Amino acid sequence: MSSPCLSSVLTHNLYSENCQIIPAPLSAGQCYKQISPHCWTIDNVLEWISDQVDRTNFDASMLSLALCTMDGPTLCQMNQDQMIVFFGPQLGSHLHQSLHEQKTKYGKTATITLTNMKTEKGEPRQKRPRGRPPKLTVPNYLSTAPRGTHLWEFIRDILIHPEKNQGLMKWEDRREGIFKFLKSEAVAQMWGQKKKNSSMTYEKLSRAMRYYYKREILERVDGRRLVYKFGKNSSGWKTEEIGIGI
Partner DNA sequence: GGCACCTTTCCTGGTT
Partner DNA sequence: AAACCAGGAAAGGTGC
| Span of 22-30, 47-55, 59-67, 218-226 interacting with DNA by CB under 7 A | 218-226
Among 110, 138, 190, 227, binds DNA (CB under 7 A): 227
Q: Are 35 and 27 in contact (CB under 8 A)?
A: yes
Which one-letter DSSP state was computed for residue 109? Answer: G
122 binds DNA (CB under 7 A): no
Q: How many CB atoms lie within 10 A of CB 134?
A: 7
CA angle (179, 180, 182) in 5-degree steps:
145
Kindly state whether residue 151 participates in binding DNA, applying the rule CB under 7 A: yes
Smallest gap from Cβ 239 to DNA, in A, equals 23
* Closest to DNA by CB, 112 or 208: 208
The only residue of 8, 89, 197, 216 in contact with DNA, by rule CB under 7 A: 197
Give whole-number Cα distances, 215 to 24, 90, 119, 204, in Å. 38, 36, 46, 18
Binding residue (CB under 7 A) for DNA from 97, 211, 216, 245: 211
Closest approach, Cβ 146 to DNA, in A, equals: 5
Residues 170-189 close enough to bind DNA by CB under 7 A = 184-185
Q: Which residues contact 47 (CB under 8 A, 6 or more apart)?
A: 31, 32
Strand order in the sheet with 169-173: 169-173, 178-181, 227-230, 218-219
> Is 202 near DNA (CB under 7 A)?
yes
Which residues would be at the binding site for DNA (CB under 7 A)? Answer: 145-147, 150-152, 184-185, 191, 195, 197, 199-200, 202-208, 210-211, 213, 215, 220, 222-227
